[in-house]
Amino acid sequence: MSIGLSAPWALILGITALIPLLKRGQAAISYPSISMLPSDPLSTMLDRLLRSSAAAAALSLSLGIAGPYLHEQWVERVGTGAHIVLLLDRSSSMNENFSGSYMGGRAQETKGAIARKLLAEFVARREHDLFAMIDFSAAPIYVMPFTQDRPAILAAIEATSGRGHGVTNIAPGLAMALDFYSGKPFTGSRIVLLVSDGAARIEEETRDQLRQWFQETQATLYWIYLRNPRSGRLSEKPVNPGESTTPEYFLHQYFQNLGVPYRAFEAENPEALQRAILEVEQLENLPLHYLEKLPRRDISGYCYAAALAFLALLLSAKALEVKSWPV
Amino acid sequence: MIPEFHYHVNWRSPGVHPGHHRSARQGGGYEFAGHTLLTSNPDPRNLDIRATLHDPFEQLMVRTFRQRSAIPVYVVADLSASMGFRGTRSKTELLAEFTASVAYTAYRTGDFFGFIGCDSTILQDMLLPLRWHKGAAPELLENLKNLRPRGRSSDGLNEVVPYLGKRKALVFLVSDFHLTLDRLDTLLKALVRHDVVPVVLWNSAEFDRLPSWGLVNFEDPETGARRRLLMRPALREKISASFEKRREELGQICALHGREPFFLIDRFDPDELTRYFYRT
């Protein structure tokens, strides 16, 4: 903690602190018999107090004019706040239930509806996080930038309840999610929470681009894969690997090589989905150590407050002064 | 009208000039002194037949008498800066009133009057030599009233003895007596030849009518010393007690040198001064 002065020359005014030490401010009343006055410790103390507080007032005023400030500094903070981008799949397959049969846009037990419900709970529990939201199907939809406004983000989640359509195209969604982080200070962990039920092939060029962006933003990727029982597992190599038939497997492989923390959760029923979300939550509840830069802080206010206190003392003494007697 | 008082001394004046006070000199008076030969005191009006008949040498005896003489009366005033105090009443004004009264009373009693004012030295322009004044010079009194004392000390009091002459005089020593008891003792010892009436000129604003509450910054006009006091009833009591103690000390030391002090506080009461003289 180091202190600087914005106008050090004003400290010269501190010399005025000598005046009250050398002279009393009160007009003297001629009194012929000072030697006859009995010694009075209380008066002596009060006199010293008044003189020193006058000096202190002068000092703190000059110090206040000099404008002291605390230098900018880095402070280590511990927090749980994370920047989370919800990347929600809205392809038409989200309207199916976990067994793969189409349920219609308004159905309650579709993958999308369950994901929404659980995500809403997740959002409601994570008090300290900032959330942003993107829907994607064939193209990403910019829904909500980073905000702490819970009702807004919950409304945004609710708003995806319309009928999904189109295909799953992950790459542009990821790109937009990562774009949210660009230019933002790194104050908490960055999480891209990808909720989707499938994947698609990503072009080689786009992969490199995404990898670069992931490494620049250092975002953590969680993929909650709403698996259709008929689809293959992410961890098992399919019997007939091919980017067009089992894109999930290849996407998983690609994500593992991103160079940023990555985890995938497979959920093949609502309970598994809930477990996956709870697991994400626990992972991101780890205390987060980060350095925060505090701007330089003006502390001249304290000097003025001290001066005010001293001057108030002097003013009250002034009010007590006897200018002449007997009246 | 200038107030008058009566004063009275219990010593015989050696003065030649006829006056009001008992004298050591023989002369025309009513106080019987003794018998002497007509040849040494050729005043046949005072022939004493009984004494003549008693005289074994059969010489003519006459009665002799002591005359009554005038005495010198001085007012020696301390005019140092501390006398410039104005409390309920300016001290110099009170001093002027007192001096005028002494001067007029001396004139009415038939005595000589002189005034000597001093601060750190004798103030020559204030000096009024011993005369038979019909009232002290009005100029002096006017000067006294308008005086702004600024002397740094009252050391001039020590130089006053040569100005008082050789004859025993009644000296009113007017001061606030804010000097050390040692100095007062020295001063009174120096004035031992004279009959000194210490007149203590105080003002009740100094000790009695102080403010009950508040911050006062006192400055000694002579030394420039300053003290800031938080006045409160307890401290007022203490100051009052301090002056009471001072009053006793002054009484003791002055009584040792002949007379008790006369306290001139706030106003001059001539009857009080008369009582003072007839009490002692």
For residue B230, being part of any structural domain is answered with: yes
| Range B211-226 average pLDDT | 86
Instruction: Assess whether B108 and B34 both reside in one domain.
Output: no
Domain count, chain B: 2
Contact A34 B220 (CB under 8 A): yes
* pLDDT over 60 (residue B221): yes
- What is the per-residue pLDDT for A168? 78
Contact B239 A322 (CB under 8 A): no
Euclidean distance between CA atoms A120 and A282, whole angstroms: 16
Collapsing DSSP to helix, strand or coil, B201 comes out as strand
In chain A, residues with a C-beta closer than 8 Å to the C-beta of B235 are 38, 40, 43
- What is the per-residue pLDDT for A107? 54
**Cβ contacts of A54 within 8 Å, gap of 6 or more:** A17, A19, A20, A25, A310, A314
For residue B78, being part of any structural domain is answered with: yes
Euclidean distance between CA atoms B114 and B110, whole angstroms: 13
In this structure, of A17-21, A80-84, B212-216, B244-248, the range with the lowest mean pLDDT score is A80-84
Contact B211 A30 (CB under 8 A): no
Instruction: Assess whether B60 and B189 both reside in one domain.
Output: no
**Tell me: the pLDDT tens digits for A31-67?**
888 888 888 899 999 999 999 999 999 999 999 999 8
CATH of A77-292, one of 2.40.420.20, 1.10.357.10, 2.120.10.30, 3.40.50.410: 3.40.50.410
**Tell me: the pLDDT tens digits for A175-197?**
888 888 887 776 667 888 888 87
For residue B245, being part of any structural domain is answered with: yes
**Tell me: the pLDDT tens digits for B49-97?**
999 999 999 899 999 999 999 999 999 999 999 888 888 888 999 999 9
DSSP B135: S
Mean pLDDT of chain B: 90
CB-based contact A262:A303 (threshold 8 Å): no
Euclidean distance between CA atoms A198 and A96, whole angstroms: 12
Residue in chain B nearest A320 by alpha carbon: B214
* pLDDT over 90 (residue B271): yes
**Tell me: the pLDDT tens digits for B149-202?**
888 888 889 899 999 988 999 999 999 998 889 999 999 999 999 999 999 999
Determine which helix (DSSP H) or strand (DSSP E) holds A65, and give its type and residue range: helix A41-66
Q: What is the CATH number of the domain that holds B196?
A: 3.40.50
Instruction: Assess whether B64 and B77 both reside in one domain.
Output: no
| Range B110-125 average pLDDT | 92
Instruction: Assess whether B140 and B30 both reside in one domain.
Output: no
Range of the domain at B43: 18-69
For residue B1, being part of any structural domain is answered with: no
Two structure tokens written together for A199: 């994947």
In chain A, residues with a C-beta closer than 8 Å to the C-beta of B92 are none
The contact set of A with B (CB < 8 A) is: 24, 26-38, 40, 42-43, 46-47, 50, 317, 320-322, 325-327
- What is the per-residue pLDDT for A87? 86
- What is the per-residue pLDDT for B4? 92
Two structure tokens written together for B218: 């006192």
DSSP β-bridge partners for residue A291: A76
Closest Cα to residue A161, out of A120, A128, A112, A126?
Answer: A112
In chain B, residues with a C-beta closer than 8 Å to the C-beta of A316 are none
For residue B11, being part of any structural domain is answered with: no
Contact B209 A26 (CB under 8 A): no
Instruction: Assess whether B40 and B142 both reside in one domain.
Output: no
Of B69, B101, B131, the residue that ends a domain is B69
In chain B, residues with a C-beta closer than 8 Å to the C-beta of A46 are 215, 228, 230
Instruction: Assess whether B98 and B143 both reside in one domain.
Output: yes
Instruction: Assess whether B79 and B151 both reside in one domain.
Output: yes
For residue B3, being part of any structural domain is answered with: no
Euclidean distance between CA atoms A160 and A180, whole angstroms: 20
- What is the per-residue pLDDT for B193? 92
SS3 content of chain A, % helix, strand, coil (to 5): 45, 20, 35
Contact A40 B220 (CB under 8 A): no
Euclidean distance between CA atoms B230 and B215, whole angstroms: 5
| Domain locations along chain A | 3-28+40-72+295-320, 77-292
- What is the per-residue pLDDT for A251? 83
Sign of the C-alpha dihedral, residues B166, B172, B174, B178? positive
Of residues A29, A38, A40, nearest to B217 (C-beta): A29
Q: Walk along chain A (327 residues) in steps of 10 and give the mean pLDDT of each run.
A: 85 89 82 85 91 93 91 74 82 73 60 82 79 86 82 85 76 85 74 80 84 85 79 73 75 84 79 78 65 80 94 92 76
Instruction: Assess whether B28 and B92 both reside in one domain.
Output: no
Instruction: Assess whether B136 and B79 both reside in one domain.
Output: yes
CB-based contact B29:B75 (threshold 8 Å): no
Determine which helix (DSSP H) or strand (DSSP E) holds B253, and give its type and residue range: helix B233-256
Closest Cα to residue A80, out of A188, A192, A186?
Answer: A188
For residue B5, being part of any structural domain is answered with: no
Neighbours of A156 (CB within 10 A): 22
Q: Which residue has the higher pLDDT, A287 or B121?
A: B121
Instruction: Assess whether B197 and B212 both reside in one domain.
Output: yes
Instruction: Assess whether B174 and B260 both reside in one domain.
Output: yes
Contact A47 B220 (CB under 8 A): no
